[in-house]
Amino acid sequence: MINDNTPYKLAEIIRDTWPNLYRPKMKQCSKCNQLLDESLFSPSSGGKYLRPECRKCGYKLSKERKLLKQKYGNPPQGYSCPICLKTEEQLKGTGGNASTWVVDHDHNTNTFRGHICHNCNRGLGVFQDDISRFSRAIEYLSANENQLGFQGASVLDAARVLNKVETIENQ
């Protein structure tokens, strides 16, 4: 019988049956942290690399995102991203084929945080939702503001966002 665990079991059978012939490339799943055969990971949407999470975790994440999207839908008309402050009109074409807005959520608790644009969602992802990383990035930008040619408003905006996030975290 084929089920969700079939690829995992097949990989185990092959590994155990032909240990000297089959040396799989292994990869660690970013969600379940298991070291798994690369065949258990899906290619990225562009096909240039493998997704960071295994297929099993990817399926679970996809279901969670779908449920959040159904529950919270889209933001109201005239909405602006709370991070970059851009409107839907200003963001047209920046999210690829997907909607302008992302249903942002805490990946540990699956709690809805709000709607943000794709670019800001990617930024949060790069910083792994780590407030201390954001703080260090703001300190870095602030210290190098004149040398790098950043405008004061960009650093101030980042500081305001960080302040809001810290306030929410402390509640």
Q: Are the CB atoms for 164 and 133 separated by under 8 Å?
A: no
For residue range 92-141, what is the model confidence (pLDDT) as tens digits? 877 666 778 999 998 888 889 999 998 899 889 888 889 999 899 888 88
Q: Please tell me the distance from the alpha carbon of residue 108 to that of residue 82, in angstroms, as a whole number.
A: 21
How far is it, in rounded angstroms, from Cα 54 to Cα 108? Answer: 17
Q: Quote the tokens at residue 24.
A: 């799989």
What is the predicted pLDDT for the residue at 151?
52
∠ Cα 58 63 66 (to 5°)? 120
Is a pLDDT exceeding 60 seen at residue 23? yes
The pLDDT assigned to 15 comes to 67
Q: Does 47 have pLDDT greater than 60?
A: yes
Lowest mean pLDDT, pick from 38-47, 48-57, 67-76: 38-47
Task: Give which of 63, 74, 68 is closest to 115, Cα–Cα.
Answer: 74
Phi-psi region of 47 (alpha: psi -120 to 50; beta: other; left: phi over 0): left
Q: Which burial class, exposed, middle or buried, applies to 44 when counting CB atoms under 10 A from its CB (0-12, 13-18, 19+)?
A: exposed
- Residue 90, H or E segment: helix 88-91
Average pLDDT over residues 32-59: 90
Strands (E), the chain: 26-28, 35-37, 41-43, 50-54, 101-105, 112-117
Task: Give the pLDDT score at 72.
Answer: 94
What is the pLDDT at residue 156? 54
**E strands in 38-90:** 41-43, 50-54
In the structure, how many helices (H) and strands (E) does the chain have? Answer: 7, 6
Classify residue 115 by its DSSP letter: E
Q: CA-to-CA distance for 75 and 103, rounded, in angstroms?
A: 9
pTM: 0.64
Of 45, 28, 46, 49, nearest in space to 37 by CA = 28
Question: What confidence score (pLDDT) does residue 19 get?
Answer: 60
- Give the domain ranges of the chain: 1-42+49-64
Rounded to an integer, the average pLDDT of 73-101 is 87
